[in-house]
Homo-oligomer: A and B are copies of this chain.
């Protein structure tokens, strides 16, 4: 329970709460509201050997795999859907053995997080048995239900070391407001040992209450204001998904691991000492276009 009056800190201070070897739950999902700036900082900070867990992910997990900082993936999906298809870095890392692919399923993950949230050693679940996930996850156990005689699967509690989220607004105390689909962010914040948050804008508590509070302050360890912190993923209604940037990203990944390092990670991660440097590299005019998605939404995808 985090009760400091003022949770604000710099991006590097925020990321200093994360350690090599940690189990990391990344907020957002697919092309939406990924804490990308914090992930770039994590890579720059040399943190590695991470276990990542989550449901539907894309560039976030793929970039971490491409940077070589992931040891185990417990995600249920990592890909670019029908936009760009396979997550190339993720796939390469799994196939080479660099990343151990311990795939999970969405509801199994939900129930494991809930067990942690409720202080239970496990949650029962009807599904999963009969699939190959049982062999992949030897930590799952089964029991005969004393009420029905049914065989149930018991999935153990999962408490990530760190939940890393990107929110729209926060107050100094760490109360958060997230707009649109919350994905698993609330579950992560409640289940994790620490919750680290980047936020588009810090506003007064009174203004935040007007919007509504999505996640109460006491789950939040530390907080960093970082406009465009989700770029190139979206943070509607503030800005749309940067499909062109993602296309470039995917193209670099496709050229091979070395090209991805040289042509994407070098310019957009390693060479950017700060988030401002990154935004400058992306360019103000591009950012302005993304903010003005409502003028011609279809154009974002052309």
Contacts and interface: CB of A to CB of B under 8 A. Distances in A.
A147 B123 CA distance: 11
Contacts of A148: 121
A114 to B, nearest CB: 9
Interface in A132-150: 141, 143, 145-148, 150
B141 A147 contact: yes
A106 to B, nearest CB: 14
A119 interface: yes
A126 interface: yes
Interface string A157-181: 0000000000000000000000000
A146 B150 contact: no
5 contacts: A119-B126, A121-B148, A121-B152, A122-B147, A141-B147
Contacts of A147: 121-122, 141, 154, 156
Interface of A: 119-122, 124-126, 141, 143, 145-148, 150, 152, 154, 156, 212
Contacts of A212: 212
A211 to B, nearest CB: 11
A121 B152 CA distance: 10
Contact of A141 (B146, B154, B156): B146
A290 to B, nearest CB: 26
B122 A145 contact: yes
Contact of A143 (B119, B126, B143, B150): B143
A121 to B, nearest CB: 4
Given A120-B126, A121-B147, 13 more contacts: A120-B124, A120-B125, A121-B124, A121-B152, A122-B124, A122-B146, A124-B124, A141-B146, A141-B147, A143-B143, A143-B146, A146-B154, A147-B156
Nearest to A120: B124
The 4 closest A-B pairs by CB, nearest first: A121-B147, A121-B148, A141-B146, A121-B145
Nearest to A212: B212
A143 B142 CA distance: 13
Interface centre among A120, A146, A154 (most CB of B within 10 A): A120
Most B C-beta atoms less than 10 A away, residue of A119, A122, A125: A122
Nearest to A141: B146
Contacts of A146: 122, 141, 143, 154
A239 B28 CA distance: 40
A75 to B, nearest CB: 23
Contacts of A120: 124-126, 152
Nearest to A119: B126
Contacts of A121: 124, 145, 147-148, 150, 152
